[in-house]
Homo-oligomer: A and B are copies of this chain.
Amino acid sequence: MKTAQNFNSYQSVCYVSSQQKINTHENDSDCLILLDQTKLPFEVEYVSLYDVDSICEAITKMVVRGAPAIGIAAAYAVTLDCQRLLETTDLNLIKEKLRFSSAKLRKTRPTAVNLMWALDRMNKIINSSKKETAQELYLELLLEAKNIFEEDLETNKAIGKFGAELVPEGASIIHHCNTGGLATSGYGTALGIIRSAFESGKQIQVYLDETRPRLQGSFLSAWELEQLGIPYAVIVDSASGFVMKTKGIDMCFVGCDRVTSSGYVANKIGTYNLAIIAKAHNVPFYVAAPLSTIDRSIKLGQEIEIEYRSGEEISKVGGKWMTLDSVTCLNPAFDVTPPELITGFVTEKGVVYPPYEDNLRALFHNN
C-alpha cells in the first residue's frame, strides 16, 4: 500500500479513510497505518490495520507506544470499527458493538490514562450522538478522532514552547524513555521541549537514558535526535548520578502516562529513580504533561495500576535471547514518582508549580 507518504518520519499513527485512497487495488475500507516501533531503528516499516482486534494486539505488543499515540490509535480504532458496520441499519446495535470494542481497547494497557481519556471522548459521541444513520455517526466519530490527533499536535507544540523557556543557553539535559514524535501525534512532549529549545537556536547537549528493558532511548529517541541534528549521547540508566556529578546537568525532562490530582506521576520504569537522583543533585526535574494525562479521578500514587510485562523483555533484547531463557526476571513497566520530587509540570497551558493539588485543578477551571 502506497500510503507511507502520508507520514512524516516522526509520525507513528496515520488514519487513511477509504476516500483518500487512490490506488485501485487497495482494500476499500479505511485503515490505520502504524509505524512499527518494534522494528525501529533497524527498519522503517509500516503496518496497515483494518479492525479493532489487530489494533488491540498492536497496542499490547507495542507496535504503537507512547501514551498520546496509544490514545490516538484507540480513537481511530473505534472509527474504523464503525466504518465496518455501515451496512447495519440498527443504530443501537452499532452503538452496542462500538461500546464493546471500546471496552476491549481500554484493557490493552492499564497504566496510561490517555487511552481511557481518548476512549471516553469517543464513547461520549457514541452515547450522545443525535445522528440517524451509520454513515453520519461514522463521520462524527472520524471528526472526533481527527480532533484528538490535531489537538495533540497543538498541545505538543504549546508544551514545547513553554518548556523551551525553562532551558538556558548551553544547557545539558537528561531525558528518559521516548517522548518524541513517535510517542505522540508527531512533535513530542518532553522531547518536543528539547526540540523546541534547539529550534529556537539554543546550544544544548542531551543525555538519553537508554531506558531498559525496551531501550526506547537508544532505539527511538536517539533515532529522532539524530534526524533532528540535536547533539546527544546515550547513557545506561544507572549512570545518571555519575553524569549529574561530572557533566553539570541543568535539568531533566520526562513524559508521563498518568498524573493524579495531587501530582503523582506514573511513567516508564526508571523515572522514579531518575527523580530521586536529580533531587540528590539539586537538578530540576520537569514532567511534560498534556492535560489529557491528568487523571482527576484519583489522588494518590498507589491508586494507579502498574502494568507488569513479561520477564522476557529483560532477558531478550530486540527479540534475541540476551541471557539464558531460564533466568527469572521481574518486569514492572512503570513506576510512580511522588510530587515532592517534581519541580514543575509543563502543560499546554503553561508550567505548573506546587502546590500541585490546587494548581493542577486550576488548569481545568481557567479556560
Contact = CB atoms under 8 A, between A and B. Distances in A.
Given A212-B212, A269-B239, A232 B276 contact: no
Interface string A264-280: 00000110111011011
A332 interface: yes
Contacts of A238: 209, 211-212, 237-238, 269-270, 273-274
Given A41-B323, A276-B280, A320-B320, A237 B236 contact: yes
Interface centre among A242, A322, A323 (most CB of B within 10 A): A323
Interface in A192-248: 207, 209-213, 215, 218-219, 222-223, 226, 232-243, 245-246
Nearest to A234: B329
B272 A219 contact: no
Contacts of A306: 242
A317 B317 contact: yes
A330 B326 CA distance: 31
Contacts of A364: none
Contact of A322 (B218, B311, B327): B218
Nearest to A335: B242
Interface string A303-345: 0001000010011011010111011111110011000000000
Given A238-B238, A241-B273, A276-B276, A329 B213 contact: no
A42 B320 CA distance: 13
Given A215-B322, A314-B210, A272 B327 contact: no
A308 to B, nearest CB: 11
B213 A315 contact: no
Contact of A242 (B223, B233, B324, B332): B332
A314 B234 contact: yes
A211 B314 CA distance: 11
Given A41-B324, A226-B326, A326-B226, A272 B233 contact: no
Interface centre among A223, A239, A277, A326 (most CB of B within 10 A): A239
A222 B325 CA distance: 11
A314 B223 CA distance: 15
Interface of A: 41-42, 207, 209-213, 215, 218-219, 222-223, 226, 232-243, 245-246, 269-270, 272-274, 276-277, 279-280, 306, 311, 314-315, 317-318, 320, 322-324, 326-332, 335-336
25 contacts: A41-B324, A210-B212, A212-B236, A215-B323, A218-B314, A218-B315, A218-B323, A218-B329, A219-B323, A223-B324, A226-B326, A233-B329, A234-B315, A234-B328, A235-B314, A236-B237, A236-B270, A238-B269, A239-B269, A242-B269, A245-B272, A246-B332, A276-B280, A277-B277, A279-B280
Given A242-B332, A242-B335, A276-B277, 11 more contacts: A210-B314, A213-B236, A215-B322, A218-B329, A223-B324, A233-B311, A234-B311, A234-B329, A236-B269, A242-B272, A276-B276
